Amino acid sequence: MAGVVLILVAAVTAVEVWRVLRDARRARRMNRAMHELRRPLQAIALSFEAATPDLGGAEACLEQARGALHELDEIVNGRREARPVRRTAIAEVLDALDRRWRFADVEVERACGTVEIDADLTRLGAALDNLVVNALRHGSGVVRVRAIAARGKARFEVRDAGPAATASDRRRRDPRHGHGLRIVADVASGHGGEATPARPAPGGGTLAAISLPVSREAMGA
């Protein structure tokens, strides 16, 4: 009898642990999606605070917000749809990023713009935006974004002038924050590439990057 009771207790405990873990994963995904929704809305707010609002930039940000709402819909309703991947020039990725962050201290360098990649532009844009937000929030000076191509890779670099004078450990403990860099890593790996976390850069400042494969046609050109 005691053995049966122990088995029942173990089974109930296992079910409860599974439920807690399931709820924790769901909460993390919800917080991550809400994080992604706040980010483009922040960029839209910057745009409309300017003397001459940039409606093109706001439209680009709204596309990012729609992507975050799509992820929330997947979490709530359990539907998963294939993300659209298309071939595009790096210049298009950088132009869209520039439109989204035109009214922040962000400068975009357009080099190797004709090189092409195969990417989900909404998710890639979200990853780059997260690197920009991280640099604006935790770094100092102007944030500079550029892309370089070498050895079959397109490398997007985001650089600031170095760590800001203050940092908040409380924000790191807040479950609503801290999702950005995980999103960057997930997007990079999902495209067959890799993410490089922020680290001291040669010549000073802090640099983070995403490296993605260039398209096969571009490699053969």
For residue range 158-177, list pLDDT tens digits in order.
Answer: 999 988 765 454 445 555 45
State which residues form the domain around 26: 2-77
Contact assessment for residue 173 and residue 184, using Cβ atoms and an 8 Å cutoff:
no
Residues 23 and 131 both lie in one domain: no
Of these ranges, 140-149, 159-168, 179-188, the one predicted with the greatest mean pLDDT is 140-149
CA atoms within 13 A on the CB side of 90: 26
Residues 103 and 171 both lie in one domain: yes
In sequence order, which residues have a C-beta less than 8 Å from that of residue 153 and are 6 or more positions away? 193, 211, 212, 213, 214
Q: What percent of the chain has pLDDT over 70?
A: 52
Residues 120 and 55 both lie in one domain: no
Residue that terminates a domain, selected from 77, 108, 124 = 77
pLDDT interval class at 32 (50, 70, 90): low
Three-point CA angle 145, 64, 71, nearest 5°: 125
pLDDT interval class at 107 (50, 70, 90): very high
Cβ-based burial of 91 (10 A; exposed 0-12, middle 13-18, buried ≥19): middle
Residues 106 and 199 both lie in one domain: yes
Predicted TM-score (pTM) of this structure: 0.67
Cβ-based burial of 183 (10 A; exposed 0-12, middle 13-18, buried ≥19): buried
Provide the 10 A C-beta neighbour count for residue 70.
15
Residues 32 and 90 both lie in one domain: no
Residues 90 and 64 both lie in one domain: no
Residues 91 and 68 both lie in one domain: no
Averaged pLDDT score across all residues of the chain: 75
Q: How confident is the model at residue 169, as a pLDDT? A: 47
Residues 203 and 94 both lie in one domain: yes
Three-point CA angle 80, 84, 88, nearest 5°: 160
pLDDT interval class at 217 (50, 70, 90): low
